[in-house]
Amino acid sequence: MAATILLVEDEAGLISYLDSELHFEGYTVLTAQDGQAAWDTWQAKQAEINLILLDWMIPKLDGLEVMRRVRKTSDVPIMMMTARDYVGDKVAGLDNGADDYITKPFEIEELLARIRVLIRRGQHLVPTTYTVGDLTLDTKARQVRRGGQLAQLTQREYDLLLVLMQHRGEVCTRDQLLDAVWGTEFDGQANIVDVYVRYLRQKLECPDEPALIQTVRGVGYMLEEAASHAG
| pLDDT at site 1 | 52
Residue 184: C-alpha distances to residues 38, 62, 181, 188 (Å) = 14, 14, 9, 11
| pLDDT at site 98 | 87
Peptide bond into 127 cis (omega under 30): no
| pLDDT at site 124 | 57
| pLDDT at site 123 | 66
- CA–chain centroid gap for 98, Å, is 14
pLDDT, averaged per 10 consecutive residues of the chain (231 residues), comes to 88 95 94 94 85 93 90 86 70 79 91 91 69 86 87 91 88 87 72 94 82 90 68 43
Q: Are the C-beta atoms of residues 70 and 45 closer than 8 Å to each other?
A: no
| pLDDT at site 166 | 82
Give dist(CA 158, CA 111) in Å, integer. Answer: 33
| pLDDT at site 185 | 64
- Tell me the three state secondary structure of residue 6: strand
| pLDDT at site 48 | 81
